[in-house]
Amino acid sequence: MGYRDANRVGFWSSVLVTMEVAVFAVALITGLLGFSSLSDVLSFISCLCLAPSFVAMMVSVHYFASAEKRVWSHLGVAFSIIYAVLCAITYYTQLVVVRTNSLGVSADAMALFTFEPGSVLFATDMLGYGFMTLATLAAAPVFGQGTLERWLRRWFIFHGLFALPTVIFPAFSFAQDADAVASADMVGTLALLFWCAIFVPIPILLATLYRRLTCSQVHAAACSAA
């Protein structure tokens, strides 16, 4: 992949990631307003789309990295692929299997696969996001000098620091009474909105970086042709 193609893929994948996170945030707010069914569908679709978009964004970071730092961006790509596989399976299963239940599986059996704390797919999803945070943490050294790159490195590291709590969280037991479940849902939604706020600067900054790189390359090509 040439650098111009890498910049183009990086820019548009970053734009897509930004939009998908924004839709996810809207879905969370919709759930707070009482439209839980619509919220679930929007959440699963936006997060399913986020998986390949994030991988494309990380691949572009790999092509942006200098040769001596590509081991870090390569690790970031590898972790992002693990995230994408785990989370894509989770959301596709929710949309195609759990919501339709076309086989008529009993509620007790289906409970293992619902997207609730303590279920198999909830744990799978959290593990996936653990690898997503590791992807940004691993790729942080790629960014060096300049104000924009320094901010990117800081945000990559800041997001990456949530790897441990993201993976540990599902290991805690959860209360089952109705009041405790409602309270946990509210806390979980607010935590996810917080994640949106700390994550979305990453694709915005990357889109800005790739746009600047494209403009500088176009300018350099115009100067060479003159």
pLDDT digits (tens, 9 = 90+) for 139-173: 999 998 889 999 999 999 999 999 999 988 877 75
- Nearest CA among 124, 44, 136 for reference residue 86: 124
Mean pLDDT, residues 45-65? 97
Q: Please tell me what DSSP assigns to residue 67.
A: G
78-82, 130-134, 139-143, 217-221, range with the lowest pLDDT: 217-221
Within 2-69, where are the H helices? 3-32, 36-64
Rounded-to-integer distance, Cα 175 and Cα 148, Å: 44
Q: Higher-confidence residue: 192 or 109?
A: 192
Domain count, the chain: 1
Burial (CB count <10 Å: 0-12, 13-18, 19+), residue 66 = exposed
pLDDT digits (tens, 9 = 90+) for 205-225: 999 999 998 876 654 444 444
| pLDDT band, very low/low/confident/very high, at 3 (cuts 50, 70, 90) | low
Mean pLDDT, residues 68-81? 97
- Nearest CA among 99, 86, 92, 94 for reference residue 166: 86
**Is 120's pLDDT higher than 50?**
yes
Quote the domain boundaries for residue 149.
3-225
